[in-house]
């Protein structure tokens, strides 16, 4: 899935495209997170460098 991120001084912009395998539709997800990454509800820290291949 194509995913893109743009790092700014205080935050990171995120955009992801998901395509329907049968065609005819797709989803665009837009988000932002702090520049230092996030901590999930179960305590795992996800750094800005970690991700899904981007």
pLDDT in tens, 1-54: 568 989 999 999 999 999 999 989 999 999 999 999 889 899 999 888 765 444
Q: Flag whether the pTM goes above 0.75.
A: no
Contact call for residues 40 and 33 (beta carbons, < 8 A): no
CA angle, corner 25, sides to 33 and 13, nearest 5?
Answer: 15
Tokens describing residue 47: 């750094």
d(CA 40, CA 37): 10
């Amino acid at each position: 899935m194509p995913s893109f991120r743009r790092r700014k001084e205080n935050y990171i912009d995120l955009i992801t495209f998901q395509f329907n395998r049968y065609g005819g539709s797709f989803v665009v997800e837009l988000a932002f997170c702090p520049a230092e990454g996030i901590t999930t509800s179960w305590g795992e820290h996800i750094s800005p460098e970690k991700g899904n291949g981007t």
